[in-house]
């Protein structure tokens, strides 16, 4: 369907017609001094008027070019058929631990051992790609928590952010409480029944300015359901950069918010966990539609340029001016 963003601009199409009927400039009643060469001046004036006259076809061409310019000013758009957005999912925030301990290589994939962060990025990116219809956001945390992607239907971009995440983005320590608080802030304005947070970490809370259980209590008040995932091959695994998974804390956070705690010892278990979360019942939200729009103003302006150029090239104005110039030189 053709639509015009500024339809009032079509009033401008009458400007040439109005100019045509304006009274001409007043002419002198006669020369104050009669000169011997006055007759020649009158002949030159007549030739100038003849040169300035344009044929009807050329007048029509110029008017058509003006009309196309007015059409371009009115900003024509082609409006497509309504497309319904799949707004039947959840508002899901994914919070990923990028602390130093995530570089530990204890995730077994076939005959190959990969780091924890590699396993998380591969499986989490696959998870977000399947979340068509959900608003998905991404928080990365280490010593501090940062929003890498706000809630959006653009799961492709969120997936790309997950794949590009690098250790050290947010510091070497682990701030579980801060990541919880930031997620609550982002989710609290969304429909109460659709607020979901998936928090994945491999360590203990060592750098939060907010106590994790206080953040969990606030999440429960705000109806934010938190699913926690602890990732480590073996309980008790420690490193110089991080301790073992604090399962008691993660389980307490999940229970306080109505969620569930999962333990991932290898990529297969982690993928199964995301599969379970993937089966959450969607919460119906108000459906929304949009109609794609494609601007056509460029074509109208191009048409005006082509027609105007043709009028000039076929001698609509130039030949008359040339004859006048020749008459003056004679």
* 239 vs 212, residue with greater confidence: 212
- What band does 51 get if pLDDT is binned at 50, 70 and 90? very low
- The tokens describing 117, both together, are 């962060």
Please state, rounded to an integer, the average pLDDT across all residues of the chain. 77
Q: Can you tell me the mean pLDDT for 143-152?
A: 91
Question: Cβ(127)–Cβ(77) under 8 Å?
Answer: no
Q: Specify the range with the lowest mean pLDDT, choosing from 41-45, 123-127, 293-297.
A: 41-45
51-55, 204-208, 239-243, 292-296: segment of lowest average pLDDT = 239-243
The 10s digit of each residue's pLDDT in 254-291 is 999 999 898 887 778 777 887 777 776 554 555 567 67
| Averaged pLDDT for residues 227-252 | 70
More confident residue, 29 or 214: 214
Q: Please, are residues 87 and 287 in contact by the beta-carbon 8 Å criterion?
A: yes
Q: What is the pLDDT of residue 107?
A: 78
Could you give the CA distance from residue 299 to residue 59 in angstroms, rounded to a whole number?
22
Task: Write down the architecture of domain 85-278 according to CATH.
Answer: 3-Layer(aba) Sandwich (3.40)
Residue bearing the bigger pLDDT, 89 or 99? 99
Residue 183 has pLDDT above 90, yes or no: yes
Work out the pLDDT band at 38, boundaries 50, 70, 90.
Answer: low
Q: Average the pLDDT over 168-196 and give the result.
A: 85
Q: Tell me, what's the pLDDT at 287?
A: 59
> Which two three-digit tokens encode residue 267?
């990529």
- Per-domain residue ranges for the chain? 2-21+39-81+292-329, 85-278
pLDDT at 304 over 80: yes
Q: Which of 8-17, 32-41, 55-64 has the highest mean predicted lDDT (pLDDT)? A: 8-17
pLDDT value at 238 more than 60: no
Please say whether the beta carbons of 143 and 165 come within 8 A: no
Ranges of H-type helices in the chain? 15-20, 38-52, 56-73, 116-129, 155-164, 176-187, 212-221, 247-257, 267-278, 297-313, 318-329
> How sure is the predictor about 236, in pLDDT bands with cuts at 50, 70 and 90?
very low
Q: Is 75 exposed, middle or buried (0-12, 13-18, 19+ CB in 10 A)?
A: middle
Please state which of the ranges 125-129, 199-203, 250-254, 315-319 shows the lowest mean pLDDT: 315-319
pLDDT at position 322: 45
Task: Specify the pLDDT at position 216.
Answer: 93
Residues forming a β-bridge with 79: 293
Reply yes or no on whether the pLDDT at 324 is more than 50. no
324 vs 179, residue with greater confidence: 179
pTM of the model: 0.58
| pLDDT band for position 241 (cuts 50, 70, 90) | very low
């Amino acid at each position: 369907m053709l639509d015009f963003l500024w339809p009032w601009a079509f009033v401008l199409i009458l400007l040439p017609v109005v100019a045509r009927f304006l009274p001409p400039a007043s002419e002198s009643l006669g020369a104050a001094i009669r000169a011997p060469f006055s007759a020649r001046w009158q002949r030159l004036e007549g030739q100038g008027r003849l040169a300035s006259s344009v044929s009807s076809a050329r007048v029509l061409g110029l008017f058509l070019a003006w009309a196309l310019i007015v059409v371009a000013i009115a900003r024509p758009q082609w409006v497509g058929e309504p497309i319904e957005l799949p707004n039947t999912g959840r508002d899901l925030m994914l919070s990923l631990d990028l602390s130093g301990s995530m570089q530990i290589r204890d995730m077994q994939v076939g005959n190959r051992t990969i780091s924890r962060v590699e396993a998380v990025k591969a499986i989490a990116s696959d998870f977000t790609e399947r979340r068509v219809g959900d608003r998905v956001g991404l928080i990365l945390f280490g010593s501090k928590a940062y929003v890498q992607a706000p809630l959006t239907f653009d799961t492709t971009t969120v997936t790309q952010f997950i794949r590009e995440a690098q250790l050290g983005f947010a510091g070497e320590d682990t701030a579980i409480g801060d990541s919880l608080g930031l997620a609550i802030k982002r989710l609290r304005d969304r429909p109460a029944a659709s607020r979901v947070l998936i928090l994945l970490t491999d360590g203990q809370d060592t750098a939060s300015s907010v106590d994790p259980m206080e953040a969990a209590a606030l999440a429960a008040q705000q109806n934010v359901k938190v699913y926690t995932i602890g990732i480590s091959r073996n309980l008790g695994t420690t490193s110089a950069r991080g301790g073992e998974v604090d399962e008691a804390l993660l389980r307490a956070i999940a229970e306080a918010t109505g969620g569930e705690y999962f333990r991932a010892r290898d990529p297969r278990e982690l993928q199964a966990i995301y599969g379970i979360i993937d089966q959450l019942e969607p919460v119906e939200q108000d459906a929304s539609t949009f109609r794609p729009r494609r601007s056509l103003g460029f074509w109208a302006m191009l048409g005006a340029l082509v027609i105007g150029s043709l009028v000039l090239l076929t001698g609509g104005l130039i030949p008359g001016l040339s004859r006048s110039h020749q008459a003056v030189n004679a």
